[in-house]
Amino acid sequence: MPNTQQPIIRVDNLSFNYPEEAVLKEINLEIYPGECLAILGLSGSGKSTLLNLLASLDTPTAGEIHYVFQDQEYTVDSDGLTLKKGNTTKPISRDTLRSHFGFVFQTPFMLGNFNASDNIGLPLRLRRKPVKEIHHLENEMLNAVKLQGKGNLSADQLSGGQRQRVAIGRALIHRPAVVFADEPTGNLDSATAKGVMETFLNIVIKERQNALVLVTHDPCVAAYYADRIVYLVKETPDEGSVLVHRGLEGLEDIRQHCSKAVQHFFN
Ligand SMILES: Nc1ncnc2c1ncn2[C@@H]1O[C@H](COP(=O)(O)OP(=O)(O)O)[C@@H](O)[C@H]1O
Ligand SMILES: [Mg+2]
């Protein structure tokens, strides 16, 4: 299991407050390559906030997040991002760190002027990769997310599930070390949700041994797909949520409680 390896992300005593509300309190967490980690919690418990902090889209109020990618060590704290070189550290742009990430938002978005293929290739276009390579990888990804033949369609010609698969293709095409997905199946019917999760697991974990951090409020989705679940729990109204870790046996317990229909569907 994952903990025989070095974590690629280590969260130390991370807290996050809005001026009017404490959201997260002293969170500690490690994320390993090759695992699907699910973050569960009630609505408003701070799941999206934690995911945004992990993806360096937001800045901690206190505590630190450490990352190790391709032997480079990065640290984010309330002062921003630094890269460690030998015994010294220097501030760097967050784009360098974010290039290791893919992000899928709950509501799928496509840039309106671009077709499905162009939307999937966006991260490569922003990196100014050669056009031939981009087209090759876009076609490969269209197949992987089961949208072959639909590359020329625009957002209004695609269903919600198809747009979500475009968003997944875009999050995966640059082969990020970690994919963060915020309720990626929240707006989908069960059959489409199953397809979406299987695409993720095949591409992120089975093919590449990268990490998937999955935020969901649905314990059954987490129990069937995650290797590990952590829970955000708001214990008192005035303090931020704490992170509760439970053992692997917790997964089997949850599966037992998923409805018969769900068990039948996922098995
Ligand atoms: N931009 C914001 N400004 C102020 N409060 C916010 C903002 N975004 C989220 N919150 C509050 O932070 C808390 C956690 O939100 P969020 O991380 O979105 O929870 P979850 O994803 O678990 O539903 C909620 O009480 C929410 O109202
Ligand atoms: Mg949320």
Query: CB of 138 within 8 A of CB of 102?
Result: no
pLDDT of residue 250: 65
Same domain? For 39 and 88 the reply is yes
* Chain segment 148-159, per-residue pLDDT in tens: 999 999 999 998
Q: Running DSSP on this structure, what letter comes out for residue 156?
A: G
41 alpha carbon, closest ligand: 1
Q: Is 46 left (phi over 0), alpha (psi -120 to 50) or beta?
A: left
CA 47–ligand 2 middle distance (angstroms): 5
Q: Best mutation site among 20, 23, 47 for ligand 1, i.e. most ligand atoms within 8 A of its Cβ? A: 23
Give the H or E element holding residue 103.
strand 101-104
Do 137 and 262 belong to one domain? no
Residue 265 neighbours by CB distance under 10 Å: 15
Q: Quick one: 139 and 58 in the same domain? A: no
CA–CA distance, 173 with 134 (Å, rounded to integer): 9
**Does residue 29 sit within a domain?**
yes
**Residues 6 or more apart whose Cβ sits within 8 Å of residue 128:** none
Query: How many Cα neighbours within 13 Å face the side chain of 129?
Result: 15
CA of 19 to the centre of ligand 1 (A): 12
134 and 258 share one domain: no
Residue 58 CA to residue 53 CA, distance in Å, equals 5
Residue 266 has pLDDT above 90, yes or no: no
Lowest mean pLDDT among 69-83, 101-115, 240-254: 240-254
* Closest CA to ligand 1's atom 5: 18
Tell me the pLDDT of the chain averaged across its residues: 88
Residue 163: pLDDT above 80?
yes
**Which residue's CA is the nearest one to ligand 1's atom 24?**
44
Count CB-CB contacts under 10 A for residue 163.
21
73 and 20 both lie in a single domain: yes
Longest CA–CA separation in the chain, Å: 56
Tell whether 259 is covered by a domain: yes
Q: 191 C-alpha to center of ligand 1: Å? A: 29
**C-alpha pair distances (Å), 132 with each of 38, 90, 136, 143:** 36, 36, 6, 17
Higher pLDDT, 192 or 118: 118
Tell me: pLDDT of 218 over 70: yes
Q: What is the mean pLDDT of the segment spanning 67-86?
A: 88
pLDDT at 7: 95
| H-state helical runs in the chain | 47-54, 94-98, 116-120, 122-126, 131-144, 160-172, 190-200, 219-225, 249-257, 260-266
Q: Which residue has the tokens 């992987």?
A: 144
CATH of the domain at 16: 3.40.50.300
Provide residues with CB under 6 Å of ligand 1.
18, 21, 23, 41, 43-49
| pLDDT over 90 at 27, yes or no | yes
Please report which confidence band the pLDDT of residue 261 belongs to, taking 50, 70 and 90 as the band edges: low
191 occurs within a structural domain: no
Residues 132 and 260 reside in one and the same domain: no
Domain of residue 141 covers: 101-175
How far is the centre of ligand 2, averaged over its atoms, from the C-alpha of 10 (Å)?
22
Give me ligand 1 centre to Cα 230, in Å: 18
Residues 182 and 84 grouped into a single domain: yes
What is the average per-residue pLDDT within 16-27? 97
Q: Is pLDDT of 247 > 70? A: no
* Counted domains in the chain: 2
Tell me what the mean pLDDT of segment 62-82 comes to. 92
pLDDT of residue 24: 98
Considering the domain architecture, whether residues 17 and 82 belong to the same structural domain is answered as yes
Question: Going by CA atoms, what residue is nearest to atom 27 of ligand 1?
Answer: 44
Q: Does the structure show a pLDDT above 70 at 55? A: yes
Q: For residue 249, what pLDDT band results from cuts at 50, 70 and 90?
A: low
* Closest residue CA from atom 7 of ligand 1: 18
Q: For helices 131-144 and 160-172, what crossing angle results, to 10°?
A: 130
| Residue 156 pLDDT | 92
* DSSP-derived 3-state class of residue 44: coil
Cα–Cα dist 133/135, whole Å? 6
Q: Are residues 27 and 159 in the same domain?
A: no
Domain assignment present for residue 135? The answer is yes
Ligand nearest 181 Cα, by number? 2
| DSSP-based three-state secondary structure for 102 | strand
Output the pLDDT for position 31: 96
Instruction: Give 267's pLDDT tier (boundaries 50, 70, 90).
Output: low
Q: Are 32 and 11 in the same domain?
A: yes
pLDDT tens column, 89-143:
888 888 889 999 999 987 778 888 899 999 999 999 988 899 999 999 999 999 9
Determine the pLDDT at residue 193: 80
Mutate to test the pocket of ligand 1, among 16, 24, 43, 48 (most ligand atoms within 8 A of CB): 48
Please say whether the beta carbons of 254 and 221 come within 8 A. Answer: no
CA of 46 to the centre of ligand 1 (A): 6
